[in-house]
Amino acid sequence: MKLPLTKYQRFAGVLIVTLIIPLILYAYIGIFTRYVADDYETAGALARYGFMGAQQYWYQTWSGRITYFALVSAVEMLGIQAVPYLTAVCLTLWIIGLYWTLCQLAKLTHLPHPALTSFLGVSLILFVTLRSLNQIHQILFWQTGLLTYANYLIFFTFGLAWWISRLKINGNQPASPIELLVSLVYAFVIAGISEISIALQITAITLILILFVIFPATTFRKKGLGLAIAALMGSLISFAIMASAPGNLIRATHFSARPDLVSLVINSLKYTFTFLGNWVDKQPILVALAILIPVMAALAAPATTGSAVSPAIQDRKLTAGFVLSSVALFLLIWSGFFTSFAVMSGPPPDRALVIPQYVLVMFIVLWSYQIGRLISAALNRDLVTPRFWKLVGGVVLAICLLLGPVYASYRIAGTIPTSRAIALEWDQRDAVIREAIARGERHITVWYIRDLNRLGDYSSDPDFLVNRAAADYYGIETIIALDKE
């Protein structure tokens, strides 16, 4: 016999459904993803040089992102038919990895309903992160953007979950050789995805090592220190390989001259503050949701037993934790922007902002929940007016949900017909090209598809980069696109 749901379970369930619907719609729209822009370049290099030849080609002529180019080549070996499923697969893996991470933290802190609370956190973090970005189409509906930036966050989240799980098992004992090897190899592999991600990774591991030095009495210091050192070694090796790529010099010619160190620091710091300010200024509803939902979830959760730690000690720990984690958050975000200004002499592309945005939202959601727990512990439920505060909180939350995930679901669903039509037109044009190839044609003219993921399409110039790459992909000499008459 099933027990009736508690008030907290009903509350969390409604929020999860409201927040997860936009993510499901994103996964569905991903079905209409096709090759565009840079996708043709990587697919064309694979067709021309083969898997290993493509890795050498990109390393010598463009970038040292060894993991990214290996991964994108592996995916493209599956063919264009794999692309429509990438968004759904990546979102599913992201949800699983983040759920595993939050479950580990929930169990460590003895939260009530750890599974339900963790899934609520997953839904909220991913919704707020993705809706905060201006170029969502270049992150979820473009193979290149998806496998570069969102893909790194998926790997990073799984690595974090694994790291926490290992610390829970005999954390006061040194790490085993297998654990050290896994930590080193995994860090090496995921560090090779992009320059911004490797900066965040090295900064995060370095901060963890500093914390172990500052707090030597930490119960899991022995294992954590070994795993962190191994991960840092793997990351630095990957960084050395990335930085040594001859293609970096060729790629640098596409950017303006690299600024001096002082300008580099100043510009990256200014951009960090601009990034933080823009989010609060332009996305107030999302900021409110990231704070309000965790606080209300903590207040609605069943009361937990009091901590055995004295209030004074707990206060010192929370204060130190908040201050140190705030400094760490700023350094993590700034490190990515510093790297971008160093590599590209300017701010990162909008699609790369998913990395700092994810870190920022996670920080706010986790600390907001902790604040809600502290408020709940401080409240004397016999002296408050629960109906009044529930009404006020419910009205505010309902407004935020209507303007946030509910409205977002409406807007996202409204893009489905256009996305479907563009995908259908791409498929029709692809069929025309392949029919022409079957007839033996080597120089092909097709029509231009407008608004193709806002990334551009073939041009009328056969020597244009995308045209040449598409010609390599299809195995022909030239291809051009003209406006439909």
The H or E element that residue 480 is part of is strand 478-482
Note the maximum CA span of the chain.
84
Tokens coding 155: 């790997």
Q: 173 in the Ramachandran plot: left (φ > 0), alpha (ψ -120 to 50) or beta?
A: beta
DSSP labels, 342-382: HHHSSPPPGGGGHHHHHHHHHHHHHHHHHHHHHHHHH--TT
Provide the pLDDT for residue 89. 95
DSSP labels, 238-271: HHHHHHT-THHHHHHTTSPPPPPHHHHHHHHHHH
**Measured distance between the N- and C-terminal CA atoms of the chain, rounded to whole angstroms:** 67
Provide the pLDDT for residue 1. 42
Provide the pLDDT for residue 304. 63
Helix axes 354-378 and 261-282, enclosed angle (nearest 10): 60
Tokens coding 218: 């930490």
Provide the pLDDT for residue 380. 63
Helix axes 221-243 and 177-191, enclosed angle (nearest 10): 30
pLDDT digits (tens, 9 = 90+) for 216-274: 767 777 888 889 999 999 999 999 999 998 988 887 777 777 778 888 899 999 999 99
Residue 443, classed as helix, strand or coil, is: strand
Q: Which residues of the chain have pLDDT under 50?
A: 1
Strands 478-482 and 443-447, by their bridges, are: parallel
The residues, any chain, with a CB within 8 Å of residue 14's CB and separated by 6 or more, are none
Q: What is the pTM of this model?
A: 0.91
Provide the pLDDT for residue 460. 86
Nearest to 410 by CA among 126, 141, 25, 137: 25
